[in-house]
Amino acid sequence: MCGIVAYIGPKDATPFLLEGLARLEYRGYDSAGVAVTGRSGGIKLRKVKGRVADLAAAVPARFKGTTGIGHTRWATHGVPSDANAHPHLDNAERIAVVHNGIIENADELRAKLAADGAVFRSETDTEVLAHLIAANVAEGVELEDAVRAALGRVVGTYGIAVLDAERPDRIVVARNGSPIVLGIGEKEMFAASDVSALVRYTRQVVHLEDGELATVRADGFRTFTEDARTTHRQPSTVDWEVDSYDTGGFEHFLLKEIHEQPGSVERTLSGRLDERFATAHLGGLNLDARELREIRRVKILGCGSAYYAGEMGAQLIEELARIPAHSEPASEFRYRNPVIEADTLYVAVSQSGETYDTLAAVQEVKRKGGRVLGVVNTVGSAIARECDGGIYLHAGPEVSVASTKAFTSTVVAFALLALHFGRIHDLSPADGRRIVSALKALPDQIREVLEQSEAIAGLAAEYADSAGMMFIGRVRGYPVAREGAQKLKEISYVHAEAYPASELKHGPLALISPELPTVALVPDDELLDKNLTTLGEIKARSGRVIAVGHRRPEEKLADHCILVPKSEPELDPLLLNIPLQLLAYHAAVALGRDVDKPRNLAKSVTVE
C-alpha cells in the first residue's frame, strides 16, 4: 500500500521520480527509494527508511539515468528499514522491482528460490518478484515474458514496475488489484500508481485493467494480458489542476481541503439539480425510472469514512425515498457469504475508487448477478470501471490522508440519489423543492461554519490533552458522531468513541467523568428534548460537554457550544460534521501531530 512512479525518456529520470514520490507520499511514507539505469548499464539504487525528503538528501548529485522507478512505502511485510524499502534487486543486481499489494504465497516462493541459490536481503514479499523475474531473464527470455512467467506463479495483489539493467529501453508494469496508470508525454513516458504524480507532466493517461501488463518505451507503450494477448487502451484526459496538489498558502493540505468544501459541494451539485421537476439529474446511473421503481432495497458498501458516509446516505434514502437502506463495511461484506437479491441496488463508495476491500465487494456482487453503482471521486478508477453506473463526486484531488471534502461530497451525492429516488417514488413536489433549495444553500452555509475556525481552534487546544473523547448523536446524528470520532482518532491519536445518544445509559455512561469530555450532536429537530435529557445525564455525572447544534443549550447542560446554520432536517448532518473536522484538525495541530500523514495510515488502501 504505497506509491509507484516510473520514467523513461531522454531526460534524467531522478528529478521526476523524487517529485512524483513527494506527490504520492500521502499513500505511504515509512520508507522510500529510487533505481535508475541508462545506456551505460548497471542499476544505481538509493533507498532509506523515512520520508521522501530523507531520500532526496541521500541521492548524490551524479545519480543519473534516463530510465527509472521509485517507490514510497507503507509497510505490510517487515518493519520500516533501509533493507525493506523498495526497489528490490535480484542477486546479480540486474532486475529492480517496486510493488504495491501483497504476495500471499511469498513464503512458499521464497523457500523454493532460496533452495535454488537466491539470497534474500529483506523481509518483504516483493523481493520474491525480483528473484523470480531474474531467474527467467537469465535464461534468455524477453523481459515482458519473464515478468509474465513470474506473475503466473504469484497469488495475491500487485501493481508493479520492473527495470532491467540490460534493457534500459523499456519498463514493464503490471496490475492486479492495485492501480497502475501510464502517462503519455512527448517522446517520454511515465507510469504511477496515482495520476497526482503525473499531472505536472501530462494530462493524457491510460489506466491498466486487472490482469493487464504494459511495456513502456520512450516513444509509446504496448498493453497485453498475462497470456500474451494484445489489448488496446485509449488515453483519457485528466482534468485535475496541478495547483490542487499544493497547499495554496494553508499550513496543511487537510486545512486547505476543509476550506475547499463549499467549492467541492458546488461541483458535486453542478448540473444535477432540476428545479422545474424538483428532482435531481443523475444520468450516470444508467437506470431508467421503471428500473428504479423495481428496486426494493439499497445496500451501501464502503470502508472507514466512506462507510460512515454510507450510513448518512442510507438515512437519506430511507427518509426521502422510503426504501429500506443499509450501510455495511465492504471489508466484511463478502466474507459472510452475502445473499445477493435481484431487487436490491448495491452502492460502492470510495474516494480513490481503488480501495481493495470495496473493489472485492463489488466483484462479489457482480459475480452473483447483482447491480452495483459507484460513488467515487476518481474518474477511470477500478471501482468506477467495474460498476454498472454511478456518480462522480468531482470534489477534486484529496491529498491529506484524512478525508474531508470527499466525505462531504459523498453525502451530497447520496442526497441527490435519495432525491432522485424519492421523486420517482412518493416524495411530493413540495418536499422535492424543499430539498433542492436546501442543497443549493449548502455551500454558503458551509462557508459560515468555516468562519468559526479560530474559535474552534481555541476550544480544541483546551481539550486536546484529554485522555479520550465521547461522541454522541441520535438517528441522523449518530453517523456524524462516528465520523467525528474517526477524524479525531486518525489525526490527533486521541482515543475517541462514538455511541448513539440513546445508548449512553445502557453502559457507556459508566465512562463519564470530568476527564472524558463528550461531543454531543444536538440538532434542532424532533429529538431535541431527548438529546437535552442525555446532556443532563452527562452533566449530573460531572462530565464536560461540547454541544454542536442550532441553538445554545442552557449553561447547566453544556460547557461549550458550536452553532451551525439550520438546513432541512435531512441535510442537517452535513453541516453538523464540519465543526468536527475543524475540532479534530486543531486538536492535532495543538498536539504537534503530522496532520496530513498520520502514523500507521495511508490514503488509498489497496491491500486487504
Other Cβ atoms closer than 10 A to 289: 10
Our CA dihedral for 450, 451, 457, 458, rounded to 10 degrees, sits at -150
Average pLDDT over residues 106-130: 94
**Please, which residues bridge with residue 163 across strands?**
96, 171
Confidence at residue 125, expressed as pLDDT on a 0 to 100 scale: 92
For residue 565, pLDDT beyond 60: yes
Average pLDDT over residues 398-414: 95
Confidence at residue 242, expressed as pLDDT on a 0 to 100 scale: 62
Catalytic residue check, 603: yes
**Could you give the C-alpha distances from 480 to 83, 206, 413, 424, in angstroms and in order?**
42, 37, 16, 28
Q: Residue written as cell 488496446?
A: 232
Confidence at residue 55, expressed as pLDDT on a 0 to 100 scale: 93
For residue 542, pLDDT beyond 60: yes
Cα separation, 587 vs 273, whole angstroms: 37
For residue range 231-246, list pLDDT tens digits in order: 998 898 877 666 667 7
Per DSSP, 156 falls in state B
CA quadruple 390, 395, 397, 403: dihedral sign: negative
Our CA dihedral for 250, 252, 255, 258, rounded to 10 degrees, sits at 110
Confidence at residue 399, expressed as pLDDT on a 0 to 100 scale: 86
For residue 28, pLDDT beyond 60: no
**Could you give the C-alpha distances from 11 to 19, 22, 38, 169, 203, in angstroms and in order?**
14, 19, 10, 13, 19
For every residue of 161-194, DSSP letters joined together read EEEETT-TT-EEEEEEBS--EEEE-SS-EEEESS
Average pLDDT over residues 453-469: 95
Average pLDDT over residues 586-598: 94
Q: Residue written as cell 468544501?
A: 261
Confidence at residue 80, expressed as pLDDT on a 0 to 100 scale: 84
In this structure, are strands 468-473 and 495-500 parallel, antiparallel, or unpaired?
parallel
71-75, 518-522, 571-575: range with lowest mean pLDDT? 71-75
Per-residue cell: 68: 527509472
Identify which has the larger pLDDT, 38 or 261. Answer: 261
**Please, which residues bridge with residue 171 across strands?**
163, 216
Confidence at residue 85, expressed as pLDDT on a 0 to 100 scale: 92
Q: Residue written as cell 485509449?
A: 234
Topology match between the domains 1-235 and 251-589: no
- 607 pLDDT tier (thresholds 50, 70, 90): low
For residue 306, pLDDT beyond 80: yes
Confidence at residue 25, expressed as pLDDT on a 0 to 100 scale: 75
**Where in the chain are the domains?**
1-235, 251-589
Average pLDDT over residues 404-418: 98
Topology, domain 251-589:
Rossmann fold (3.40.50)
Confidence at residue 259, expressed as pLDDT on a 0 to 100 scale: 97
Identify which has the larger pLDDT, 377 or 605. Answer: 377
Cα separation, 573 vs 550, whole angstroms: 11
Topology, domain 1-235:
Glutamine Phosphoribosylpyrophosphate, subunit 1, domain 1 (3.60.20)
CB 169 within 8 A of CB 187: no
Cα separation, 249 vs 261, whole angstroms: 16
Q: Which of 2, 303, 387, 561 is catalytic?
A: 2
- Cis status, amide bond into 517, omega within 30 of 0: no
User: Taking all residues of the chain, what is their mean pLDDT, rounded to a whole number?
Assistant: 92
Q: Which of 256, 299, 489, 603 is catalytic?
A: 603
Confidence at residue 600, expressed as pLDDT on a 0 to 100 scale: 80
